[in-house]
């Protein structure tokens, strides 16, 4: 099974108020993953009706390093997601370059692509992009046949509008017993 | 493998990291701290350990790396533990 076969509550321990991904649409364990989200009224409250840039970074983490580390590490340890998250917590450890090209408003669906560039010793680094989804495209249908070759270049059809670019988002899985 | 050989190997490896100031590698000892003395980002330590694993042709345990300290001697201990388990 891939991450896209699970409900989001199973693969993300966040929630529900801090969960910023509705579903994982596409997943390749060695390459990365794609999530989808639509900002709610509470996401844009007190922020001019605009989805925050900081939340876009969180979205990338929730669409990529968190579920990807959980998937790979739980398989390695032969644990269910539930048991894995009882033992480990996945934290953001840094982000390199972030460029915002456009903005997102309430109700504007977007997809988040996170491509693995490093994975070793419970630490994963991804590069990513966020694209606004055009009204004419059903993302669930679009990504059901999305090819790995396109993902390697983080390429989508031109109707998708690039919102932001990310380099070197770092996530690290820590045993809960290591937390102070 | 001796501790000195492991230290020499780590220094050679660090010379290939463009994020590490090579002038700081001249007086490196076991007590040198990657973060405090060499200005290595904490997230880069994992990259260094992964490279050490490859360079020394070893396999480190995830739990051992989780508990690794930030001094050079900690990495030497990890290498020697893997060479002589």
Beta strands in chain A (DSSP E): 23-28, 32-37, 88-94, 98-100, 110-120, 123-132, 161-175
Q: DSSP labels for A51-64?
A: --HHHHHHHHHHHT
Closest to A84 measured CA to CA, from A68, A100, A98: A68
* ipTM reported for the complex, 2 dp: 0.82
Predicted TM-score (pTM) of the model is 0.91
Nearest CA to A133 out of A153, A100, A157 is that of A157
Question: How far is the C-alpha of A45 from the C-alpha of A62, rounded, in Å?
Answer: 21
pLDDT class of B22 with cuts at 50, 70, 90: confident
- Which residues pair with residue A128 across a beta bridge? A114, A166
Q: Which of B43, B60, B62 sits opposite A93 (nearest CB)?
A: B43
Express each pLDDT in A124-178 by its tens digit: 999 999 999 999 999 999 999 999 999 999 999 999 999 999 999 999 999 998 8
Which chain B residues contact residue A94 at CB under 8 A?
41, 43
pLDDT digits (tens, 9 = 90+) for A13-27: 888 889 999 999 999
Cα nearest neighbour of B63 on chain A: A121
Mean pLDDT of A38-50: 96
- Write the pLDDT tens digit of every residue in B45-85: 999 999 999 989 999 999 999 989 999 999 999 999 998 76
Identify the pLDDT of residue B42. Answer: 85
pLDDT of amino acid B18: 85
With contacts defined as CB-CB under 8 Å, which chain A residues touch B61?
Answer: none
């Amino acid at each position: 099974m891939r991450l896209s076969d699970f409900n989001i509550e199973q693969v993300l321990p966040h929630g529900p108020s801090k969960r910023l991904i509705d579903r994982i649409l596409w997943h390749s364990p060695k390459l990365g993953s794609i999530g989808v989200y639509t900002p709610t009224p509470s996401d844009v409250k007190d922020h001019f009706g605009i989805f925050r840039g900081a939340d876009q970074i969180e979205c990338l983490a929730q669409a990529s390093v968190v579920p990807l580390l959980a998937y790979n590490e739980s398989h390695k340890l032969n644990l269910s997601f539930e048991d894995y998250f009882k033992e480990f917590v996945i934290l953001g450890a840094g982000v390199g370059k972030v460029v915002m090209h456009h903005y997102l408003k309430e109700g504007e669906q977007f997809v988040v692509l996170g491509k693995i560039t490093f994975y070793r010793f419970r630490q994963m680094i991804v590069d990513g992009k966020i694209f606004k989804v055009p009204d004419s495209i059903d993302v669930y249908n679009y990504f059901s046949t999305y090819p790995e070759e396109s993902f390697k270049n983080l390429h989508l059809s031109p109707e998708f509008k690039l919102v932001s670019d990310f380099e070197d988002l770092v996530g690290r899985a820590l045993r809960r017993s290591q937390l102070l | 493998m001796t501790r000195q050989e492991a230290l020499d190997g780590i220094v050679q490896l660090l010379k290939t990291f463009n994020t590490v100031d090579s002038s700081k590698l001249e007086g490196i000892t076991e007590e040198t701290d990657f973060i405090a003395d060499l200005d290595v980002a904490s997230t880069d330590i994992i990259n260094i350990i992964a490279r050490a694993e490859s360079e020394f042709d070893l396999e480190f345990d995830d739990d051992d790396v989780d508990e690794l300290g930030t001094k050079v001697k900690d990495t030497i201990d990890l290498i020697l533990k893997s060479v002589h388990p």
